[in-house]
Amino acid sequence: PGTLKCNIDAACYVNSNQFSIGACIRDADGGFVKAFTQTFEGQLEIREAKAIAMMETLKWLQQYSGVQRFQIETFVQGITGKTKNNLEFELL
């Protein structure tokens, strides 16, 4: 079997004091293989929620037998603000 692709994302719900994470595994042809989601209590910045999503997904992938290689994709926007025409960047 080839390398599987795993997309990871997170969402923060400010009004309900929760955040959710999720991951989806697809095969080389883009076909659905497996996915998971999880909701947590707490109010985090989105970059923190995405870091937790990465950590929890890596734990989940360790339990996935039969596959030794995954290509992991996630989008983390690092621009946090604008100050006098200068952009501030943060690394995850």
Please write the tens of the pLDDT for every residue from 46-74: 999 999 999 999 999 888 766 667 888 88
Q: How many folded domains does the chain comprise?
A: 1
% of the chain exceeding 90 in pLDDT: 54
More confident site: 1 or 21? 21
CATH code, domain with 35: 3.30.420.10
pLDDT over 60 (residue 78) = no
Write out pLDDT tens, residues 24-38: 999 989 999 999 999
Q: Which domain holds residue 68?
A: 4-89
Contact 50, 7 (CB under 8 A): no
pLDDT of residue 48: 93
pTM of the model: 0.74
Cα 89–Cα 90–Cα 92 angle in degrees, nearest 5: 145
Instruction: Give me the helices (H) in 1-92, please.
Output: 46-62
